[in-house]
Amino acid sequence: YFSWEVLRFLLSNLRMWIEDYHFDGFRFDGVTSMLYHHHGIGTGFSGDYNEYFGLHVDEDALVYLMLANYMIKSLHPECITIAEDVSGMPALCRPVAEGGGGFDYRLAMAIPDKWIQIIKELKDEDWNMGNIVHTLTNRRYEEKYIAYAESHDQALVGDKTLAFRLMDAEMYTNMSVLMPLTPVIDRGIQLHKMIRLITHALGGESYLNFMGNEFGHPEWLDFPRIGNNESYHYARRQFNLTEDDLLRYKFLNAFDRDMNRLEERFGWLASPQAYVSEKHEANKVIAFERAGLLFVFNFHPYQSYVDYRVVVFKYKILLDSDAGEYGGHQRLDHNTEYFSQEYPHNCRPNSLMV
């Protein structure tokens, strides 16, 4: 229960950080724990409305969050607020005037968990395309989500970044361009690019990267503490790795740069959710359209395709994870312009072979 004095203290705190320290906004941590008397413990949220409305909802906490967002937006409409909520509370990210919680964004926390689960538990040939698409698109209609491929928790000591999970110890020995491209490094680099792009393009209305992960940082982050004898050794990010022309980190960094530049040009994050035209389990292919672009992903561990029919009217390659400048194998011709035929495919009237 919030007394009026506690409420005034919490709200004035928010205003102080904005006006005295020029904060751009806030990420509210552990919102699920605040929203419910059961704190989300031992509860699996399926999305059914009965799970979000009833006596188990902590109304005082919900009212505080609505007041906090209303105050922030009233005084500083340029500020952004983000909810760390795993429950999917309806309207949490709609304006207070609509009866919503007033947050601008919710963190899509299921996405990084899904990538780690897939990489840890499944062989490449057992990846489920439908499950990946479901996880990336499972969000409340017209509520904005922040998609991210890996979370800060996974980059802290005791866990591994995506790149380290994919390539592990070989990152210390086989990332030089002077060394032959090993199967482990090849697979890791290609999947790292694809995972980031499909998360960026399909997973939400904004994209979050943990520092260093844009170029596949090999190590975790660990701050000085008793458990590591107050060591600063891992309290850093090695940004110099991207500047070493003899290391393959530069390929991952270049891809991240061009991925973000392409989004700036076409604005898919501000566009409606994608139309997914294909999630083919045997071929391991996912295809979808968003912001006038066609995205095609081949997750098959060893099968490339020629004359593969996809839904589109006309296209030219804009971003190719297999391009040489991203450490790829340069199997696609970028000078070709592809035109479609009136050949119905995947519920669309036109398609083409790629």
Residues marked as catalytic: 29, 84
Could you give the CA distance from residue 288 to residue 202 in angstroms, rounded to a whole number?
A: 8
Tokens of residue 13, six digits? 């705190």
Minimal CA–CA distance to 54: which of 33, 77, 35?
A: 35
Beta strand extents in 122-168 (DSSP E only): 145-147
From residue 239, alpha-carbon distances to 165, 217, 242, 244, 276 in Å are: 20, 9, 6, 10, 36
Distance between CA atoms of 303 and 137, rounded to whole angstroms? 26
- Token digits of residue 193: 């690019």
DSSP 91-109: TTTS-GGGTS---SEEE-T
Give the amino acid at 86. V
Asked whether the beta carbons of 236 and 224 are under 8 A apart, the reply is no
Q: SS3 for 119?
A: helix
Cα separation, 184 vs 187, whole angstroms: 5
Report how far residue 12's alpha carbon sits from residue 63's, in angstroms, rounded to the nearest whole number: 16
Residue 251 CA to its chain's centroid (Å): 20
Number of Cβ atoms within 10 Å of the Cβ of 24: 9
Q: How far apart are CA 253 and CA 83, in angstroms?
A: 29
The packing angle between helices 4-19 and 59-75, to 10°, is: 30
**Alpha-carbon Rg for the chain in angstroms:** 22
Structure letter (DSSP) for residue 308: -
Residue 248 neighbours by CB under 8 Å, 6+ apart: 175, 176, 177, 185, 189, 327
Q: CA-CA distance, 252 to 242, in Å (whole number)?
A: 9
